[in-house]
Amino acid sequence: MQNKSILPENSTQIPVEVSQQATEWYVRLQADDVTEQEITEFQTWLQTSQQHQKAWKCLEQFGLSLDSLKHPLLKQALLSIDQKAPSRNLFPTKSIAYMIMLGGSIVTIIAMQPQQLWQQWQADYKTQIGEQKSIQLADGSQIILNTDTVVNVNYNHKQRQIELIKGEIHLEVVKDPQHRPFSVSNRDGLIQDIGTTFNIRQYDKHTVLTVSEGEVLVTATKSQNKAHVHAEQQVLFNQYQIQNIKAIDLKYSTWKNGMLSVYKMPLNEFLTELNRYSRDQLSYDKSVSKFEVSGVFPLKEYQKVLDSLEQQLPIKVESQFYFWKKITLKEK
């Protein structure tokens, strides 16, 4: 990654990678097994550059603190930058706003426990917002990671297991000469493959499973309720319940090809879906939900899609503040 900042050219400039480094240090130092060597390395990192110190102080302005940790080296490192800083309010609002937009990492930290953050940081494979990645597994199976997705892969002589920590994946599973079972686990349940192609998307409070070919068995984590899902079927489930299975039209499952295909989708739902692939913060008036969208849209052409919507519908897209955009009805 190039050492280039997205902040304005002023004294509060913080390069993107420095903000990410500060985030990673916060995650690691919260872990129960953090070592004295790692704390020493953190202290060295902190003292190497004023930008490192500014990035760390910006994290603290979001309410993130390691004051609860008692290790003397860590307390010494944090105390050293407190003494150097004339004021805790080191950053203007616009600089903090830019920090918020750095992949959503700082905002995510506030909403998550350190253990979850560490789990995501240490994962085998991950994608950034707007990124998609195809991975060929050791047995020839393929997994495609959608935007903002985190997974672990655990292959051994007894099993083939994928752990979906966050986001959405599409899997094409091949038969294993060693006859090892293939499964995907996530927060809400266990999905056992019976020779198939399927898609899993984890939302905040539930998971959606879509089967393209073959059959899978899904088991809810807490209740152990089970359901068989077949080709061209979809089911929503959480840790306790599995809803009724429904038939679907697979031609609208095109994200793995870099496209978003929809038919008569309410505009507000379309905007929410589209925004998954951009670092922009998009808001809209409730009144726009009365419009419907149909078509196939390139996921990597976020701004062009918004421009097209603005031309086709009586709406206007306004850039309000850096990465913030708002969509409203055009005035008559």
**209-237, pLDDT tens digit by residue?**
999 999 999 999 999 999 999 999 999 99
Report the alpha-carbon distance of residue 98 to residue 214 in Å, rounded: 46
Q: Is the pLDDT of residue 256 over 80?
A: yes
Task: Work out the burial of residue 209: count CB atoms within 10 Å of its CB; fewer than 13 is exposed, 13-18 middle, 19 or more buried.
Answer: buried
Beta-strand pair 281-284/324-329: parallel
Report the distance separating Cα 131 and Cα 278, nearest Å: 9
Q: How many Å apart are CA 150 and CA 135, to the nearest integer?
A: 13
Residues 54/60, Cβ–Cβ less than 8 Å:
no
Rounded average pLDDT over 254-274: 90
164 — alpha (psi -120 to 50), left (phi > 0) or beta?
beta
Triad 108, 113, 115: Cα angle to 5°: 115
Q: Using alpha carbons, select from 26, 40, 20 the residue that is nearest to residue 114.
A: 26
* Correct CATH for 125-250 of 2.60.120.1440, 1.10.3720.10, 1.20.5.50, 3.30.930.10: 2.60.120.1440
Average pLDDT over residues 287-316: 90
What average pLDDT does range 265-272 have in this prediction? 93
Q: Tell me the fold of 258-329.
A: Phage tail protein beta-alpha-beta fold (3.55.50)
Per-residue confidence (pLDDT) for residue 41, from 0 to 100: 87
Return the amino acid letter for 329.
L
Show Cβ contacts of residue 78 under 8 Å, excluding neighbours closer than 6 positions.
66, 67
**Residue 137 to residues 155, 161, 182, 213, Cα–Cα distance (Å):** 9, 11, 12, 19
Are 321 and 327 contacting, i.e. CB atoms less than 8 angstroms apart? no
Res. 258: pLDDT tops 80: yes
Domain boundaries, the chain: 16-121, 125-250, 258-329
Q: What is the pLDDT of residues 103-151, one digit of tens each?
A: 444 545 545 555 566 667 778 999 989 999 999 999 999 999 999 999 9
| Strand locations in 18-159 (E) | 125-126, 133-136, 142-145, 150-155
61 vs 168: which has the higher pLDDT: 168
Q: Give the integer Cα–Cα distance in Å for 44 and 302.
A: 40
pLDDT over 50 (residue 2): no
Mean pLDDT across 55-78: 60
167/35 Cα distance (integer angstroms): 31
CA-to-CA distance for 301 and 297, rounded, in angstroms? 8
Q: Tell me what pLDDT residue 25 has.
A: 80
The mean predicted confidence, pLDDT, of the chain is 80
Cβ atoms within 10 A of the Cβ of 327, count?
21
Contact assessment for residue 208 and residue 236, using Cβ atoms and an 8 Å cutoff? yes
pLDDT of 61 over the 60 cut: no
Alpha helices for 149-258 (secondary structure H):
none
